[in-house]
């Protein structure tokens, strides 16, 4: 029988990595994700795996490159300022098609910002962040259980598509404690004939993003772009709550979606037909699901912990005929359910007047 325990979100990520067969972790301390680094500093060496506290986030992501290139499952975790530093290596990983998992437990920004939870790195994580033409699979857990489950999925998808994969989560979830069912450890891993294992009995393997011949380069990038299209088609994940008869749809991810869930339920007791669409993957974004909803629902409310970032994707998906409002908090401050409820009441009132 599966074991169920109370666990801090960050530790659930660390344990998820262990269960997924993560052989190597490289990280640099930064709040609010230190529990991941601390937990793995004990856990991985116990299992005979690699843990290394690095000199910087730059080194950490470069080590993920080195480890991932050898074919083992590798991870780093950081928070927003460190995530900025890692964009360099992430772009290289995408270009060289080296799998790996990067966890960003987001905090308030820009700059040093503060250590409260936030979702201000949405653009950076979902749209690129580093240089060049690439996309990253973004998984956005909304509970401690999902922090474990999606971390495990991140390793699987990273290997499947030979692509870096992000866990994008806010500091509030990172620090929260909830019951978690401990999953079974992964025992089967895909073969990686492309990996750096020593050129014995086979032609040498090279992993790089560089192309000296300008004639060859476009076809090389095209292969990447084609891969992202397959990911768009196959990997969209989201969860709906009370959408069937909804007249207003809240769109939210991470801890904001938890507040939204409370708000939607409270709104229903008020007689407001609210529903929730929670993207689990931010890239690929559930744009089709939103577009379909927009055919019968004209009011959307985006709840997020940023100045308004995901709202741009929601607007793109639902089109100009729909009203898309924003209820948000930023700068490391949580978004209370009551505020989302107030916004829902305002929209419902406007709908009744029309």
**Nearer residue to other proteins within complex by CB, 101 or 322:** 101
Residues 6+ apart with CB under 8 A from 343: 301, 303, 325, 327
**Nearer residue to other proteins within complex by CB, 59 or 152:** 59
CA distance 183 to 180: 9
Inter-residue contact 45 to 30 (CB < 8 Å): no
Question: Residue with structure tokens 């991140």?
Answer: 154
Tell me the window of 89-97, 229-237, 267-275, 313-321 that interacts with other proteins (CB under 8 A). 89-97
What angle, rounded to 10 degrees, do the helices at 310-318 and 287-294 form? 50
For position 55 contacting other proteins by CB under 8 A, the verdict is yes
For position 342 contacting other proteins by CB under 8 A, the verdict is no
For position 333 contacting other proteins by CB under 8 A, the verdict is yes
Q: Hey, what's the torsion of the CAs at 104, 170, 292, 269, to 10 degrees?
A: 170
**Nearer residue to other proteins within complex by CB, 319 or 336:** 336
- DSSP annotation of 143 reads S
Select the residue interacting with other proteins from 334, 343, 344, 348 (CB under 8 A): 334
Buried b (16+ CB within 10 A) or exposed e, 196-223: beeeeeeeeeebebeeeeeeeeeeebee
For position 88 contacting other proteins by CB under 8 A, the verdict is yes
For position 305 contacting other proteins by CB under 8 A, the verdict is no
Query: What are the tokens at 140?
Result: 């956005």
**Nearer residue to other proteins within complex by CB, 247 or 339:** 339
Tell me the window of 12-20, 173-181, 284-292, 345-353 that interacts with other proteins (CB under 8 A). 173-181
**Nearer residue to other proteins within complex by CB, 144 or 326:** 144
Give the H or E element holding residue 170.
strand 164-170
Chain positions 203 to 232 lying near other proteins, rule: CB under 8 A, are 204-210, 212
How crowded is residue 39: how many other Cβ atoms within 10 Å of its Cβ? 21
**Sheet bearing 248-251, strands edge to edge:** 238-241, 274-279, 248-251, 299-304, 323-328
Chain positions 177 to 206 lying near other proteins, rule: CB under 8 A, are 177-179, 196-201, 204-206
For position 175 contacting other proteins by CB under 8 A, the verdict is yes
Select the residue interacting with other proteins from 12, 74, 126, 302 (CB under 8 A): 74
Inter-residue contact 246 to 273 (CB < 8 Å): yes
Query: What are the tokens at 150?
Result: 């999606």
Q: 96-115 mask for other proteins (x: CB under 8 A)?
A: x-------------------
**Nearer residue to other proteins within complex by CB, 174 or 284:** 174
**Nearer residue to other proteins within complex by CB, 208 or 229:** 208
Instruction: In angstroms, give the least distance from the CB of 201 to other proteins.
Output: 8
CA-based nearest residue to 84, from 63, 117, 56: 56
Instruction: In angstroms, give the least distance from the CB of 239 to other proteins.
Output: 12
Q: Hey, is 232 helix, strand or coil?
A: helix
Residues that bind other proteins (CB under 8 A): 6, 23-24, 26, 50, 52, 54-56, 58-60, 62-67, 69-70, 72, 74, 88-89, 92, 96, 116-117, 172-173, 175-179, 196-201, 204-210, 212, 255, 258-263, 265, 332-338
């Amino acid at each position: 029988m599966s074991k169920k325990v109370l666990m801090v979100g960050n530790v659930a990520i660390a344990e998820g990595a262990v269960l997924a067969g993560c052989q190597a972790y490289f990280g640099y301390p930064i709040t609010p994700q230190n529990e991941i680094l601390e937990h793995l500093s004990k856990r991985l060496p116990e299992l005979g795996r690699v843990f290394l506290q690095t000199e910087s986030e730059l080194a950490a992501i470069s080590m993920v490159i080195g480890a991932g290139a050898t074919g083992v499952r590798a991870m780093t975790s950081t928070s927003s300022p460190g995530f900025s530093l890692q964009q360099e290596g992430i772009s290289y990983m995408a270009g060289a098609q080296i799998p790996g998992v990067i966890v960003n437990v987001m905090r308030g920004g820009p700059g040093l910002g503060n250590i409260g939870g936030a979702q201000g790195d949405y653009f950076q994580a979902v749209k690129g962040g580093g240089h060049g033409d690439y996309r990253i699979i973004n998984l956005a857990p909304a509970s401690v259980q999902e922090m474990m489950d999606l971390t495990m999925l991140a390793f699987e998808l990273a290997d499947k598509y030979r692509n870096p994969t992000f866990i994008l989560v806010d500091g509030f979830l990172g620090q929260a404690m909830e019951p978690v069912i401990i999953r079974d450890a992964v025992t089967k891993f895909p073969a990686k004939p492309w990996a750096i294992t020593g050129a014995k009995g086979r032609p040498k393997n090279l992993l790089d993003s560089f192309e000296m011949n300008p004639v060859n380069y476009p076809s090389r990038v095209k292969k990447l772009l084609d891969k992202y299209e397959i990911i768009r088609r196959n990997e969209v994940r989201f969860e709906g709550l009370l959408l069937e008869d909804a007249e207003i749809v809240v769109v939210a991810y991470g801890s904001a979606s938890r507040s939204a869930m409370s708000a939607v339920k409270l709104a229903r007791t008020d007689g407001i037909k609210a529903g929730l669409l929670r993207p689990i993957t931010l890239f690929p974004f559930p744009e089709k699901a939103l577009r379909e909803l927009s055919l019968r629902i004209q009011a959307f409310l985006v709840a997020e912990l940023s100045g308004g970032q995901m709202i741009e994707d929601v607007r793109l998906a639902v089109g100009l005929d729909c009203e898309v409002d924003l209820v948000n908090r930023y700068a490391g401050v949580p978004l209370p359910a009551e505020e989302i409820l107030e916004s829902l009441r305002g929209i419902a009132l406007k709908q009744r007047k029309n």
